[in-house]
Amino acid sequence: MHGDTEAGKLYVVATPIGNLRDLSARALDVLRSVSAILAEDTRHSAKLLRSWDIATPLVSHHQHSGARAVDRALRQLNAGKSLALISDAGTPLLHDPGAPLVRAAVQAGIRVVPIPGPSALLAALVGSGFPADTFHFAGFLPSRQGQRLHLLQQLSPLSCALVFYEAPHRLAKTLADLQAVDPDRPAVIARELTKLHETFYRGRPDELLTQLREDPNMARGEMVLIWAPREPGDLSHAPARIETDELLRALVREVSPSAAARIAAKIIRGSARGELYERALKLGAQVKSEGPNPAD
Ligand code: SAM
């Protein structure tokens, strides 16, 4: 209770990731009954509401909405109005806006009610064929190659499946990075889930790169990348395998030789930072004389 009025509820509602029929009966009830729907992009969500004859007002609430939008929503909730938070697709907060509002609502003692439903991450995982009891979701990989390789190196010792959201224009580079880090570890690309062209591509990184060359559609649309769990007993994970020069060459394209040596020393166990620095200087000079990387 807040004053004399009972506070409203904040519903966090999952919406379709492609197929508009993936809206649960409960999600429909909630979207029809709340005072307003807070949406990442009101024009985008208007299509979903139209297709389900939902007349509830839409209010814009995105990652740049800021503290004033959160305060406004809290005032409405405290005044007894219930609100639903949705994003453009899937489950809000999963690489979508909403975390500050939900945090503020929790802190204000407002009841937060999740309405579960689609998420690209779980749909991809359960269709991947890999064990799904434990997994590590790492969101989007960094766009800079040095940082991407560094993160993949850090994550590769984990024995569970690794799940990433991936941007189509980066797919080839990411697959090449997976190959550099652990060429034998299979991966799955889950593309256009729940849509007309839903496709799962499966194989080792080199096989996926071959498929990509043969089928340019593979790099179109939305996709999730899943890297297989390591085989039980496989101790030959990436840090022991990566070629020092390959790693340093990638790093010196992005960062100074001393930063490259520092990062590489963390990745390659037992390596001497001084030697790595000398090598990074040499490779840095080579890379400079070769000009821009054709993969960039
Ligand atoms: N909150 C969403 C969810 O629960 O899935 C994810 C939002 S995030 C901004 C968008 C990313 O999710 C896309 O770049 C893609 O990696 C993945 N994604 C969303 N819809 C997808 C789909 N239908 N098929 C494959 N991946 C999808």
Q: What is the pLDDT of residues 154-179, one digit of tens each?
A: 999 999 999 999 999 999 999 999 99
- Residue 195 Cα: closest atom of ligand 1: 23
pLDDT > 70? residue 1: no
Residue 224 near ligand 1, beta carbon < 6 Å: yes
pLDDT value of position 269: 65
Which stretches of 215-256 are DSSP H helices?
238-241, 244-252
CA triple 227-193-63, angle to 5 deg: 85
pLDDT value of position 273: 83
Question: What beta strand segments (E) does the chain contain?
Answer: 9-13, 36-39, 58-60, 83-86, 111-115, 135-140, 161-166, 187-191, 199-203, 223-227
Per-residue pLDDT tens digits for 257-289: 999 999 988 887 667 788 899 999 999 998 888
**Interacting residues of 27 by C-beta distance below 8 A, sequence separation 6+:** 13, 14, 15, 115, 117
pLDDT > 50? residue 238: no
**Most informative mutation of 48, 62, 223 for ligand 1 (most atoms within 8 A of CB):** 223
Distance 96 CA to ligand 1 centre (A): 9
Distance 18 CA to ligand 1 centre (A): 9
Which of the four pLDDT bands, split at 50, 70 and 90, describes residue 234?
Answer: low
**What letter would DSSP give residue 219?**
G
290 vs 51, higher pLDDT: 51
Give 26-31 contacts, CB < 8 A, sequence gap 24+. Answer: 26/115, 27/115, 27/117, 28/52, 28/54, 30/84, 30/113, 30/115, 31/56, 31/84, 31/86
Distance 195 CA to ligand 1 centre (A): 12
- Residue 167 Cα: closest atom of ligand 1: 14
Q: What is the pTM of this model?
A: 0.80
Residue 198 near ligand 1, beta carbon < 6 Å: no
Helices 257-267, 273-290: axis angle to 10 degrees equals: 130
What is the C-alpha separation between 249 and 251, in angstroms, rounded?
Answer: 5
pLDDT value of position 232: 59
Mean pLDDT, the chain, whole residue set:
92
